[in-house]
C-alpha cells in the first residue's frame, strides 16, 4: 500500500510543482505524469526543471530525497 504523499510547505513550490513532486515520489516517469495530469511531456519537463531549481537540487532523485527528509535542502539564494 502506498503511503500518503508528503506535504512540502517548507519548499515553497507552486501547487503544480508540489503535485509533480508527489508523483515523482511515487516513482512516476515524465510520460506517466503527463498522462496522469493531462499535460504534454514538455510541460511536465518544464515543471520538473522549475521544481528542481526551486528546491536547489540538480536531479529528480535529490528532489525526492529532500522531500522525504532524507537530504537537507540546500540554501537557495
Residue 8 within any structural domain of the chain:
no
Q: What is the pTM of this model?
A: 0.79
- Give the model confidence (pLDDT) of 25-46 as tens digits: 999 999 999 999 999 999 999 9
pLDDT of residue 3: 40
Q: What is the mean pLDDT of the chain?
A: 85
Nearest CA to 24 out of 72, 73, 69, 62 is that of: 62
**CATH code where residue 32 lies:** 1.10.10.10
Residue 24 has pLDDT above 80, yes or no: yes
Length of the chain counted residue by residue = 77
Q: pLDDT value at position 70? A: 75
The backbone region for 38, taken as left when phi is positive above 0, alpha when psi lies in -120 to 50, beta otherwise, is left
Within-domain flag for 54: yes
Domains: count for the chain: 1
The predicted structure's pLDDT at residue 11: 74
* Residue 1 pLDDT: 34
Beta carbons of 67 and 11 less than 8 angstroms apart: yes
Task: Determine the structural domain holding residue 63 and report its residue range.
Answer: 13-68
Amino acid at each position: 500500500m502506498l503511503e500518503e504523499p508528503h506535504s512540502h510547505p517548507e519548499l515553497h513550490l507552486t501547487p503544480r510543482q508540489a503535485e509533480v513532486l508527489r508523483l515523482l515520489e511515487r516513482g512516476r516517469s515524465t510520460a506517466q505524469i503527463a498522462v496522469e495530469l493531462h499535460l504534454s511531456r514538455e510541460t511536465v519537463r518544464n515543471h520538473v526543471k522549475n521544481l528542481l531549481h526551486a528546491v536547489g537540487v540538480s536531479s529528480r532523485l535529490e528532489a525526492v530525497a529532500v522531500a522525504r527528509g532524507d537530504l537537507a535542502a540546500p540554501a537557495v539564494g
